[in-house]
Every structure is written in C-alpha cells, then in structure tokens.
Amino acid sequence: MALRQGRGYAAVNYPTGMNLGGDPSQALVHATTMGGFVVTLSSVDLGQGLRTVIAQCAAETLGLPIENIIVDTADTDTGPHCMGTFASRGTHRVGNAVIMAAREARDVMLQVAADELEVDAEDLETDGTGFIRLKGSSEKKIHVSDVALAAHFRQGRTISGRGIFLKEPSTPVPETGEMDPDSCQAHACTVAEVEVDDETGVIEVLRLYNTYEIGRALNPAIATQQVEGGAWMGLSHALFESTEPYYPHSREHGPVDFTEYLMPGPADIPAQTSLFLERPAADGPFGAKGIGEMTANAPIPAIANAVYDAVGVRLTSMPFTPEKVLRGLDELRAGRAG
C-alpha cells in the first residue's frame, strides 16, 4: 500500500453571453457638479468585481482618474435595462455599453472645456490626472471640476452619455445548422497534481496550474481571484459536493445546513499558479472576453485524469469519493487476477 502521485490536465472553451431574443445591456453616464462621473446600471455585481472593472472602463474612456468614477447599480425599476449577471456576460456586455456612454459624455466634456478655453474641441486631450489641456501645451488647461461647474452653472449643459450593447439573436441556417450563438470564446487549461492513498482511497489535490485565454485581463488581480476561486468550486464539485444525492427525498437524508454540507476547508486548498494569455477579442471592451463561469470547469476533469494517472482508476461521476476509488482498484485487481 502506498501514496501514489499523478498528473492530469483538461482544457475547455466557453462562450461569452447567450443567444435568446437578443442580449442587450444599457448604461448611462453623467457628470456631477464637481466633476465626478456617475455610471448608472441595472447590472448586479455578485462579488466578482464588476463594479471595479466597469469603473476602469469608464475612467479609461473618459481619460480621468478612476477616483472620479461612481458606479451606481440602481435597480431594475429605475435603472437602464440589463439582461442580467449570468452567462459570463457582465464585463463584455456592460463594459461595451459603458464605453459607448462614456464616449458620448467625453465628447460633451471636451466641447464644454473648449468653450471655456476658447479653442477647438478637436485640439484638446485628457492627461489622466483630471486636467483637460491643449495638445502640445502644458499651460493651457482646465480641471474637470471646473468644466463640470461651467457646464452646470454657466453654459447650462448636461455632460452625459447613453450606451447599449446588443448581441442580436442568431437563428440556425436550416440546411447546415450554422449559427452565431455567442460573441466570442474564452479558453482555459488546468493541470492538476494529486496524491491518492491506494489503501483508503483518499484523494488530495496538491497543486493546480491554470492558464486562461480571456481576451484581455482588464484587472489581472481580480481575474486571478476569479480563476482561483472558481478552481476551489471545481475542487469542491470534484471531491466533496453531491447534487441532490438522495433526490427526491434529500431533506430526509441529505445535508440541511452548512454544518453538514461538505466543502473544501483551508487545509484542502491546493497551491495554485495562474497565468493569462491575452488574445484581445475584436468585439470585447478593450478586448476582454467573459471569464466567470468557466473557472470551475477545467479542474474537475483535470483531477479525474490525475487520479487515473496515479492509480489507473477512471472516475466518471462526481464526487470522486474514496469509496469509488477503492471500488475501482478492486475491479482492476479482479481483472488482473482473472
């Protein structure tokens, strides 16, 4: 009896967005009296960092510090329309809508600044620190707060913009089945290293190596957290969680709260290394693709393949319990004996 180590990998591709009756998201952007810019959405941040990435998209487009951006995720009654936060669509759909709205607001902002400086708007640029200046000049400039005040109290103008991104519905070509159901495809590969006790059947995941092609990682730190948090979910699916194991009588035998529901704890989390390959998507906000849901996918088959590499047992149903490993080893021994 021994501890046996193995390595396995799995690769996935995943669509960004969906194909129903169209897949739109809208955004509104407007300046406050002091030069802050409010991005109004109905899109919900589920904790994945959407508000941060949207603020980045707005700041980059407006040419202003991110501190000037206020993201307001209002509600579906009062905010601009959004299909929802699902289908790995948030950054792609909402980001595109925000960029469109911010471009429109930027055009007005530059025109107001041009009127104040008595120059042409085409000759102005933002410097990223809050100033709008004449190209080639460090002296002729105006701060965005003064531009906003002038727009509100002297020129009587609203610095604002509207944006919408729509993925139009696609129907199959009857003769070929050809269609365009999504906007772009993200790709990932995970390598898992495991240790399997061939006496108890216990699997320990030692290390995970994750490589993701997600267009462009707009916020690499948040993207890494999504990848490694999603890998935790994949690990949990692979080794611990069972979906309605006693259906339809789960409440009689299954876990009823999180004291009974098994998930990986701190001691079960493997070391992870995560890398990104950047292949910008033509229709993505600054080249970004969706990443959210796919992060739990690749670790599961990678762990299964690593177990096979370690002990020769092919596991085809989750969770990969010690009992399944031991049954598989018994079958292998019986086969060799026969």
If one counts the domains in the chain, the total is: 2
Q: Do 164 and 103 form a contact (C-beta atoms < 8 A)?
A: no
Of 227, 206, 225, whose CA–CA distance to 303 is shortest?
Answer: 206
Question: Do 204 and 110 reside in the same domain of the chain?
Answer: no
Question: Do 47 and 140 reside in the same domain of the chain?
Answer: yes
For residues 168-187, average pLDDT? 88
For the cut 80, the answer to whether the pLDDT of residue 154 exceeds it is: yes
For residues 130-140, average pLDDT? 94
User: How many Å apart are CA 252 and CA 151, to the nearest integer?
Assistant: 66
Phi, psi of 234 (to 5 degrees): -60, -45
Write the burial class of residue 254 (CB in 10 Å: 0-12 exposed, 13-18 middle, 19+ buried): middle
pLDDT given at position 181? 82
pLDDT given at position 76? 78
Question: Do 97 and 163 reside in the same domain of the chain?
Answer: yes
Question: Do 226 and 80 reside in the same domain of the chain?
Answer: no
For the cut 80, the answer to whether the pLDDT of residue 248 exceeds it is: no
The CATH code of the domain that includes 329 is 3.30.365.10
Q: Do 248 and 211 form a contact (C-beta atoms < 8 A)?
A: no
For residues 179-190, average pLDDT? 90
Q: Is residue 172 part of a domain?
A: no
Of 319, 167, 149, whose CA–CA distance to 234 is shortest?
Answer: 319
For the stretch 231-244, pLDDT in tens is 999 999 999 987 66
For residues 148-154, average pLDDT? 97
For residues 118-145, average pLDDT? 95
Question: Do 151 and 189 reside in the same domain of the chain?
Answer: no
User: How many Å apart are CA 144 and CA 116, to the nearest integer?
Assistant: 11
Give the range of the structural domain holding residue 129, as residue numbers without chain letter.
23-167
Q: Do 211 and 278 form a contact (C-beta atoms < 8 A)?
A: no
Of 289, 95, 87, 90, whose CA–CA distance to 186 is shortest?
Answer: 289
pLDDT given at position 101? 98
Last residue of a domain, one of 139, 167, 195: 167
